[in-house]
Amino acid sequence: MTRQFELVERLKAYDPTADEGLLNRAYVFSMKVHGSQLRASGDPYFSHPIEVAGILTDMRMDCYSIVTALLHDTVEDTAATLEEIQSLFGPEIARLVDGVTKLTRLELQSEATKQAENFRKLVVAMSSDIRVLLIKLADRLHNMRTLHFIDDNTKRRRIARETMEIYVPLAERMGMQKLNDELEDLAFAELNPEMHESIKSRLRFLYQSSENTIETIINDLKRVAEEVGLECSVSGRLKSAYSIWCKMQNKNVTFEQLADIMAFRLVVNSVSECYQALGVIHSHYHVIPGRFKDYISTPKVNNYQSLHTGLIGPLNHRIEMQIRTKEMHQIAELGVAAHWQYKKGNLSPDGKQYTWLRGLLEILEQASGPEEFLEHTKLEMFQDQVFCFTPKGELISLPKGATPIDFAYAIHSDVGDRTVGAKINGRQMPLRTHLQNGDQVEIITVKNQCPSPTWERFVVTGKARARIRKFIRNQQRDQFSELGKSLLHKACIKEGLVYSEKVLAAVAQHFQYNLIDDLFAAVGEGIHTAKEVITIAFPERNKKESVSEKSVIEETNVEKSLIKPNKNNDPRKTAVSIKGLIPGMALHYAGCCHPLPGDNIIGVVTTGKGVTIHTSDCEGVTSTIDPERMLDLSWHDEMDEEIRHVGRLKLNFINKTGSLASLTTIISKHQSNIVNLKIINRTAEFWDLFIDVEVKDVEHLQNIKAALRSLPIITFVERI
């Protein structure tokens, strides 16, 4: 186990200004709270945080990272609290420890094997500080190194798979080649032990016989470079079992056929020396065609730089060759972790890096020292996303601000449609709640539930919005269509015409609707009036009407049982009902107040137009009207029950499934008909509309009004 003073020495070696006292206190605290806890290996648990800290000193991480490493499991695994950490070690350490703890909990929560890509994003998104991620990677590396101590086979495999799918790619993307290679090989050993063992033993055999070979080749390469005055260091190794296995897979060759299992690296002082070294080596050995790659002029997306080539090298061995500078080497090995050690040029972004890596580099260029660099290094990537879990551990990625409704639609459209509630982390929460990273969301559904139009106001995903809109559109269209159809039906009856969908289909075509239902919907919505449609549907009828109005009335009477023909301004039919009127005078009912039997009424005489009947309190009858032109009128005591008048209601209702239908049901239950309907204002939640109904008298209208008012969807209803 690494000792306290060793750790301090290693840190001090590259950071002489490090806070030794802080490190010592963390060491003692961690040892105390972990107490007698043991690892699966039988070692004291405390050895784990120390080893993780050790790994981070290898990466030359800052003092705070090392301290956090020592404390990283205290909150999750011991009685220590975050508050305690904060008061003992300050807010920054507390924040870092909290970050690592959250990632640990995330790991425990998810069996996210299928969701690797999303899970990786989540890990990054949750790492508010890149140091959190680096500490987590070091933690994982030590756990992988000690994986074989765990007895449970399933658990070992799960951890190995998670490492392969989540942490190896993260290390790779951050350019941390060394960490990447080691994690990969450890995971491979667990996941494919037979293959790993067979490659390993084969390599061991080769290594034994080639120990001298590697040494000889190194010396030969060094001699060649030094002959032209290049100062360099050369290293050589057998490739890792996992990388050999990948090659075997990709090229579909056996181990014996695989030629280059040795890799050599030549490290020089400058970029120009890299090309100089390449030149001299290429002129000295046989070059294997197609193997040369220049990652110096075109770095990899993770900022990796080197020259690669393949040679028939010394002793006629096929070898792989990498040539790079010291800086490039640091970056190749440590990736992001190396960036803050080097503040020098040739890291300039060429637009190919991941944006967040580019962000890191920009900060790197501006920051004056490594501390400031890390201070400003907040991971920007995925900041616009949240990642949540289903109860089964499936990961759902959503834009920031997403709600349980978005979540439900992300699972499946049908789930979204049937949503009635949501539990977030086990608690019932409002559907408009903004989801947070790592939330576990359970959607509660009911079979015949429909989307609510109000959802549209707070969902953020296009999928949810489109689906809700489509549903509302269809539903409204159905309602309008039904309404339009009944309006047309009634209009036909009223005009004494035989309702025929065949004829109406032609009208639909005339208006260029594909379906007759579209025509119905248009009538229901008030785009066309029923009268307009009928005029087009029955052109003959218009001629007839002009020839003989009588015949129309006669035809109409056929349907007398259903409804009496009643035109608002038909004087012949209603004159008899009003007392005080000069016989023969033309009579109209005012459109402003829609007077009904039972109302107090007055008449206003208009030259050439006859008498217009208003309610006595009608606002349309102003003081400007000459009193001489006003007539005191009243309704006859005995009204013809069958004569219908039009009353107008203004109402406001909640736009829900079946709202319109329940309106029309109430009205027809009261033996009334809707003759006209006009939408004044329409939002996702509420509709305002005028509705004209046929009634006997005021009382009839009052009854309808009262019945409507009792509907829960109605917020407001008044007679106009």
Would you tell me which residues interact with Mn ion (CB under 5 A)? 73, 139
- Residue 294: strand pairing partners: 307
Nearer to Mn ion, 159 or 199 (CB): 159
Taking the complex as a whole, how short is the minimal distance between the CB of residue 53 and Mn ion, in angstroms?
Answer: 11
Residue 146: C-alpha distances to residues 38, 67, 149, 204, 430 (Å): 13, 22, 6, 22, 45
* Residue 607 CB partners (closer than 8 Å, separation 6+): none
> What does the block give as tokens for 340?
């803050």
Nearer to Mn ion, 171 or 464 (CB): 171
d(CA 166, CA 162): 6
d(CA 70, CA 53): 6
d(CA 93, CA 504): 77
* SS3 state at 450: coil
Taking the complex as a whole, how short is the minimal distance between the CB of residue 140 and Mn ion, in angstroms?
Answer: 8
Which amino acid is located at 199 in the chain? I
Taking the complex as a whole, how short is the minimal distance between the CB of residue 379 and Mn ion, in angstroms?
Answer: 21
CA angle 410, 416, 418 (to 5 degrees): 155
Residue 60: C-alpha distances to residues 180, 289, 340 (Å): 17, 39, 10
Q: What share of the chain is helix, strand, coil (3-state, %, to 5)?
A: 50, 15, 30
* SS3 state at 200: helix
Nearer to Mn ion, 73 or 692 (CB): 73
> What does the block give as tokens for 610?
């006859």
CB pairs under 8 A, 24+ apart, for 407-411? 407/435, 407/441, 407/443, 408/443, 408/445, 408/464, 409/459, 409/461, 409/463, 409/464, 409/467, 410/461, 410/463, 410/464, 411/443
d(CA 161, CA 360): 29
Nearer to Mn ion, 73 or 518 (CB): 73
Taking the complex as a whole, how short is the minimal distance between the CB of residue 137 and Mn ion, in angstroms?
Answer: 11
d(CA 305, CA 338): 13
β-sheet with 674-682: strand ranges across: 674-682, 686-695, 645-654, 714-719
> What does the block give as tokens for 152?
């449970």
Closest-CB residue for Mn ion? 139
Nearer to Mn ion, 39 or 400 (CB): 39
Taking the complex as a whole, how short is the minimal distance between the CB of residue 235 and Mn ion, in angstroms?
Answer: 31
* Residue 564 CB partners (closer than 8 Å, separation 6+): 573, 642, 643, 644
d(CA 292, CA 244): 19
Nearer to Mn ion, 139 or 165 (CB): 139
- Residue 266: strand pairing partners: 234, 323
Q: Answer for the pair 96, 65: CB distance below 8 angstroms, yes or no.
A: yes
Measure CA of the first residue to CA of the last residue in the chain; give whole Å.
89
Q: 278: which DSSP letter?
A: H
Nearer to Mn ion, 50 or 578 (CB): 50
d(CA 142, CA 58): 13
Taking the complex as a whole, how short is the minimal distance between the CB of residue 471 and Mn ion, in angstroms?
Answer: 48
Taking the complex as a whole, how short is the minimal distance between the CB of residue 292 and Mn ion, in angstroms?
Answer: 43
Residue 334: C-alpha distances to residues 10, 55, 175, 181, 424 (Å): 17, 11, 7, 11, 39
Taking the complex as a whole, how short is the minimal distance between the CB of residue 377 and Mn ion, in angstroms?
Answer: 22
Among the options 15, 19, 76, 92, which is catalytic?
A: 76
Taking the complex as a whole, how short is the minimal distance between the CB of residue 133 and Mn ion, in angstroms?
Answer: 14
Nearer to Mn ion, 73 or 439 (CB): 73
Among the options 15, 20, 77, 107, which is catalytic?
A: 77
Residue 58 a catalytic site member = no
Query: Exposed, middle or buried, 195 (CB in 10 Å: 0-12/13-18/19+)?
Result: middle
Nearer to Mn ion, 139 or 273 (CB): 139
Taking the complex as a whole, how short is the minimal distance between the CB of residue 34 and Mn ion, in angstroms?
Answer: 11
Q: How far is CA 188 from the centre of its chain?
A: 34
Residue 76 a catalytic site member = yes
Taking the complex as a whole, how short is the minimal distance between the CB of residue 364 and Mn ion, in angstroms?
Answer: 28
Nearer to Mn ion, 108 or 498 (CB): 108
Nearer to Mn ion, 59 or 364 (CB): 59
Q: What's the half-sphere exposure (Cβ side, CA atoms, 13 Å) at 16?
A: 0
Give the residue numbers annotated as catalytic, written as ranges.
76-77
